[in-house]
Chain A
Amino acid sequence: MIKIIIWTVAVITVLGLLLALVLYLVAKKFKVEEDPRIDEVEKVMPGANCGGCGFAGCRAFAESAVKASNLDKNFCPVGGNEVMAKVAAILGYEVQAKAPQVAVVRCNGTCEARPKVNEFDGYASCAVKSLLYTGDTACSYGCLGCGDCVSACQFGALSMNPETGLPVVDQSKCTACGACVKACPRHIIEIRPQGPRGMREFVSCVNKDKGPVAKKACANACIGCGICAKTCTHDAITVEGNIAYIDPSKCKLCRECEAMCPTGAIHGVNFPKPLDKDAVKERIKIRQQKAKEAAAGDAASANNKADATAASPATAKKKVDTPVESPAAAKAKEDKKDE
């Protein structure tokens, strides 16, 4: 009996050793030389493989980051600055901190504001719908409401609000990977800086139709009236193609445009207090009055000097108000070219 046990143990041991040797040799022979830093970088990545960085996953990102001589082309929107700092530490590169970003849905065409004019009866996908026609409302720019963005989001940050029929972004979950931006055939979703304490101001409409047409299709549409641009004291708002755009890098979150917008197309989120429209309007009125008086005074003095370099605020604004193409508009144009 003992003999059998000893034999068994011996045979198994020898077999094990032999096989281990084979494995070792094979592993040595077929070893692929790889930069060990790729593994290190991959380890600190979030591992979501979402493709938000533009590469085919975290591994591909790591490979390209190691290969490149700097991190200009590599930024992980999911991990953000924290992860990028780690990556930079591993590779010995420098990295510029980017402001944290978030996806913003730029359509405010709720079921109430944007009545349906016909009924879609196909596969419930925005892609299918937009290929067929302009959607079941009269607005040919806004949200199609089938939730392609929701299914594209890997982080569960998007959901459809059944009441409004529009997608809602959960800021705490959104990683700004941009999957929803790619999924949306109408290009209504934009990646914008989160803003201080999440406060941000944006135009929640992309309808390029002329005012009356847009207004007829949707009560909440931006009609391109330009009041916001005239109100803005920070040159943050441009109106092009009947649509206003707030440049997040210039916006100072004064919420004056929001108070002045006649259709409520401008949205401010995460502000501690609700907007007191009347108070803001009053404030603007007084300021404009003063500006007018000052301009009159300036003009008088300028006339005296016969050297009109000191322009009134209004003309100064006009100078700056060169038609800067918004990123979204540029993207829309590019996409059109692609088609």
Chain B
Amino acid sequence: MSKRTFSIGGVHPHDNKISRECRIEPLPLAPTVYISVAQHIGAPSVPVVAVGDKVKVGQVIAEPGGFVGAFIHSSVSGTVKSIAPRADLAGRPATHIEIAVEGDEWADGIDTSDTLVTAIPEDAKAIVDKIRLGGVVGLGGATFPTHVKLSPPPGSKCERVIINGCECEPYLTSDFRTLLEKGEQVVVGAALLKKAMGDVPCTIAIEENKPEAIAHIQEVIAKLGYSGIEVMEMKMMYPQGGEKQLIDAVMHRQVGSGALPISVGAVVQNVATALAVYDAVQKNKPIVDNSVTVTGECFPRQANLLVRVGTPLRYIIDYLGGVPEEAAKVISGGPMMGRAVANLDAATVKGTGALLFLTEKQTRRAPESNCIRCGRCADACPMGLEPFLLNKLARAKDWDAMEQNAAQDCIECGCCLYSCPAHIPLLDNIRIGKGAVMGNIRARAAAAKAAAEAAKAAETEKK
């Protein structure tokens, strides 16, 4: 079988998986953790504990602020010290719950043993509900609440669950290590997701640069004897892990502009999310920790750490020997789509998958020069857009023309800027334009809705 990949664009950055041999090791507990109430897409959660309360590991400390929201659990046991705004990694203030760590006592009902529970519950609704209560969000980076994704709108039907094990970003290895070390749990998690979506087929997509993981998962599937779960070996290509790209690669279906994956019958979940689903459903264990790759050529000690949610970044870095002198940039996530950390005092959130250290030479942007119209950005764009054109339009603030040229489809993967030989900050400008276009689209939708409602009201009045 030829290896699959998505049909448009993509780039091949060197994969640099230098921490691939490092086993996932648990990080010792920090003295204090700061758990943000805005760790997911959607409304921030509402704290349900008060200052001075004693909490245990896995205890709910914040409840969803809306349908698109998630439970947040304490990742440590100890005393709530404060509930106050604190700067996140971009420096923006967000409400954090500060907990002073005292011991490591887990809440009742959580199974902390290592025994593998393979029996799949029959009730799909119960699975989704347990996922919701476990505070599971998409750990691939978007942190979209998983139970919302698993509750497709009426009229749409899921035909395939895709477990995203591509890890197409360079440097990152936490998903790879999870597949190797917790493959059984991931496969059970996949089976649970499959069950939740109505026993549809399930594909675990893994890129070709992880042959050990592919072999291991194939073995595990055979051993556990689940039917309808297969491993698909993918060609190496960034951004294969993008939701739309992965669906295109696996199912040869393209999700339309502005549409959800479910519109083509697909539900995509990350490997780490599958593990979290296993924990939440089989073990009653909510998301209290996640594996974080700490890496970079200039970083002396590569590691894959199991980190409690809310651990200050500085604590993690100091545990491994501090920020190296040559490091000029710290990135939360991968080098293509990760976010640069402006504030090392920020704490990890559920979606923190990596801390990457880059030197000035690796990351400093070269000065911009004239566009030579080579078309590399257009060739690289996985959405088939024309970044050079969008960049010009964005600088001219011509939002209407940007919309006509599909700026709103941009997935901000960074391929255009990565491949531009003239070092033009394409994505920076396109992102601004995309924001404006999305704003226009939403305003139009709201206006249309208001007009429709007004018409309806007028009609009822007539009657």
Chain A residues in the interface with B (C-beta under 8 A): 117-118, 121-123, 125, 127-128, 131-135, 138, 140, 338
Contact = CB atoms under 8 A, between A and B. Distances in A.
A143 to B, nearest CB: 15
Given A118-B342, A122-B365, A338-B439, A135 B428 contact: no
Contacts of A118: 342
Contacts of B364: 121
Interface of B: 87, 90-93, 339-340, 342, 363-365, 425, 428-429, 431-432, 435, 439
A131 B432 contact: yes
Closest 10 CB pairs of A and B: A123-B425, A134-B91, A133-B90, A123-B428, A128-B428, A133-B342, A127-B432, A133-B91, A122-B428, A118-B342
B435 A131 contact: yes
A121 B431 contact: no
Given A133-B340, A134-B342, A338-B439, 14 more contacts: A122-B365, A123-B428, A123-B429, A125-B428, A128-B432, A131-B431, A131-B432, A132-B90, A133-B90, A133-B342, A135-B91, A138-B91, A140-B91, A140-B93
A121 B92 contact: no
A121 B339 CA distance: 13
15 contacts: A121-B365, A123-B429, A125-B428, A125-B429, A127-B432, A128-B428, A128-B432, A131-B431, A132-B339, A133-B90, A133-B91, A133-B340, A134-B87, A134-B91, A140-B92
Contacts of A132: 90, 339-340
A150 to B, nearest CB: 15
Contacts of A140: 87, 91-93
A135 B340 CA distance: 12
A135 B91 CA distance: 8
Secondary structure at the B interface, as helix, strand, loop or mixed, is mixed
Contacts of A121: 363-365
A210 to B, nearest CB: 10
Nearest to A139: B91
Nearest to A119: B328
A190 B92 CA distance: 23
Contacts of A131: 431-432, 435
Nearest to A133: B90
Nearest to A117: B342
B37 to A, nearest CB: 17
Contacts of A128: 425, 428-429, 431-432
A127 B435 CA distance: 10
Nearest to A134: B91
Contacts of B92: 133-134, 140
A52 B431 CA distance: 26
Nearest to B391: A123
B90 A122 contact: no
Nearest to B428: A123
Contact of B432 (A125, A133, A135): A125
A140 B364 CA distance: 24
Contacts of A123: 425, 428-429
A193 to B, nearest CB: 29
B401 to A, nearest CB: 16
A282 B209 CA distance: 77
B91 A122 contact: no
B62 to A, nearest CB: 21
Contacts of A338: 439
A151 to B, nearest CB: 10
Contacts of B87: 134, 140
A121 B431 CA distance: 16
Nearest to A339: B439
A123 B365 CA distance: 10
B67 to A, nearest CB: 19
A338 B435 CA distance: 12
Contacts of B439: 338
Nearest to A132: B90
Nearest to B344: A118
Identify the interface centre among B92, B428, B439: most chain A CB within 10 Å of its CB.
B428
Contacts of B435: 131
Contacts of A133: 90-92, 340, 342
Contacts of B429: 123, 125, 128
A339 to B, nearest CB: 9
B343 to A, nearest CB: 8
A246 B322 CA distance: 47
Nearest to B426: A123
A131 B91 CA distance: 12
A111 to B, nearest CB: 18
Nearest to B85: A209
Contacts of B91: 133-135, 138, 140
A140 B91 CA distance: 7
Contacts of B93: 140
B291 to A, nearest CB: 25
A134 B432 contact: no
A121 B362 CA distance: 13
